[in-house]
């Protein structure tokens, strides 16, 4: 119990009676409301994806948990993708932010801006330069009439080239085999039912489709040590979670990878960012006490994985 910081514990407990405290979203953290942040996240994910898909921009892109704006997936549409879809548990976006971020992203692409260095990022891009793979289609992608059509789509919310569903709940959110690339950034640590998400992703992705995920395995400052969440007893964890719609799921690195593999994905690349400080596995409670030393030290991971070409959608429905 000493491991838990007072503020999140009090917030968790009060959230049972005060609905206003049931969001884990921090409005003061700009995140995807910043176009340079979105541009950085997009180029970073794409730079890793490009190593495995021949540098092609996927046609249909899904972002899980876009946060403040749809900007990261919008970057894909500006660069030439046909359509993007954001799926979130809650709607944290505002149309005005989406439009502003869209305009600023267009300017970043027009200038062929390399990955901004000032944005603090956990895992590095495979290439810090502007992706050569995007150059070929960029003139066509940045055609003024095309961009005006996409902007009108965001304004009107028609969903033709930019769609958003929040809250999304089940497999029916998207058509089977309709997606070429599904990515998430700082989201999979918040998802309660990780297995369901990978299962649905397998259905939604076309054969040979890709996923990229950046996952933060830290305690998100809920505890005194960065990995102290694995030392909290289940009863105390229930209090800190309270009635919030999401918090963190406490899966370690190996658990996320195992869930991807169990749902038929081939892991092509994984980048881990480790920490040497914090607690050791012997301080953790079960089942976390059984985790490997590597898992106990993994703060961030970036993963590229692929649905096999010969795979079906895995479901009869």
Contact between 261 and 267 (Cβ < 8 Å): yes
Q: Which is nearer to ligand SAM, 190 or 253 (CB)?
A: 190
Per-residue x/- marks for ligand SAM, 235-254, CB under 6 A? -----------x--------
Tell which residue, 68, 59, 62, has the closest CA to residue 37.
68
Stretch in the footprint of ligand SAM (CB under 6 A) among 45-53, 121-129, 181-189, 298-306: 181-189
Contact between 263 and 227 (Cβ < 8 Å): no
Tell which residue, 121, 42, 114, 41, has the closest CA to residue 78.
42
Q: How many residues bind ligand SAM (CB under 6 A)?
A: 19
CA distance 170 to 24: 21
Contact between 228 and 269 (Cβ < 8 Å): no
- Residue 143 CB, shortest distance to ligand SAM, in Å, is 28
Given candidates 15, 98, 123, 185, which one binds ligand SAM under the rule CB under 6 A? Answer: 185
Q: Which is nearer to ligand SAM, 40 or 147 (CB)?
A: 40
Q: Does 98 bind ligand SAM (CB under 6 A)?
A: no
CA distance 82 to 136: 16
CA distance 62 to 159: 13
- Residue 18 CB, shortest distance to ligand SAM, in Å, is 19
CA distance 120 to 135: 26
Q: Does 106 bind ligand SAM (CB under 6 A)?
A: no
Q: Does 178 bind ligand SAM (CB under 6 A)?
A: no
Residues of this chain, 14-43, that bind ligand SAM according to CB under 6 A: 25, 31-32, 41
Residues of this chain, 62-81, that bind ligand SAM according to CB under 6 A: 64-67
- Residue 224 CB, shortest distance to ligand SAM, in Å, is 21
Distances (CA, A) of 254 to 191, 226, 300, 302: 16, 18, 12, 13
Q: Does 186 bind ligand SAM (CB under 6 A)?
A: yes
Which residues bind to ligand SAM, rule: CB under 6 A? Answer: 25, 31-32, 41, 64-67, 87-90, 92, 185-187, 190-191, 246
């Amino acid at each position: 119990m000493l491991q838990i910081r007072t503020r999140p514990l009090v917030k968790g407990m009060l959230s049972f009676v005060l609905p206003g405290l049931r969001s884990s979203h921090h409005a003061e953290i700009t995140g995807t409301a910043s176009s340079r942040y979105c541009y950085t996240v997009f180029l970073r994910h794409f730079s890793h994806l490009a190593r495995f898909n021949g540098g092609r921009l996927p046609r249909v892109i899904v972002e899980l948990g876009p946060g403040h704006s749809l900007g990261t997936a919008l970057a894909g549409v500006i660069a030439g993708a046909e359509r993007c879809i954001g799926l979130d548990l809650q709607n944290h976006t505002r149309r005005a932010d989406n439009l502003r971020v869209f305009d600023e992203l267009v300017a970043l692409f027009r200038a062929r801006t390399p990955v901004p260095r000032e944005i603090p990022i956990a895992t590095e891009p495979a290439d810090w330069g502007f992706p050569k793979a995007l150059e070929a289609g960029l003139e066509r992608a940045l055609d003024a009439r095309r961009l005006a059509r996409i902007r009108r789509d965001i304004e009107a919310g028609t969903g033709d080239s930019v769609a958003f569903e929040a809250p999304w709940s089940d497999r029916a959110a998207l058509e089977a085999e309709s997606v070429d690339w599904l990515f998430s950034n700082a989201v999979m640590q918040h998802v309660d039912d990780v297995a369901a998400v990978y299962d649905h992703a397998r259905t939604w992705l076309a054969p040979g489709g890709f996923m990229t995920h950046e996952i933060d395995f830290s305690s998100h400052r809920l505890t005194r040590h960065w990995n102290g969440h694995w030392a909290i007893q289940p009863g105390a964890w229930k209090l800190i979670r309270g009635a919030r719609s999401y918090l963190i799921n406490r899966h370690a690195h190996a658990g996320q990878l195992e869930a991807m593999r169990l749902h038929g994905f081939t892991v092509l690349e994984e980048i881990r960012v480790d920490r040497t400080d914090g607690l050791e596995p012997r301080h953790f409670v079960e089942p976390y006490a059984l985790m490997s030393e590597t898992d106990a030290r993994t703060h961030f991971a970036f993963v590229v994985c692929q649905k096999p070409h010969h795979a079906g959608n895995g479901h009869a429905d």
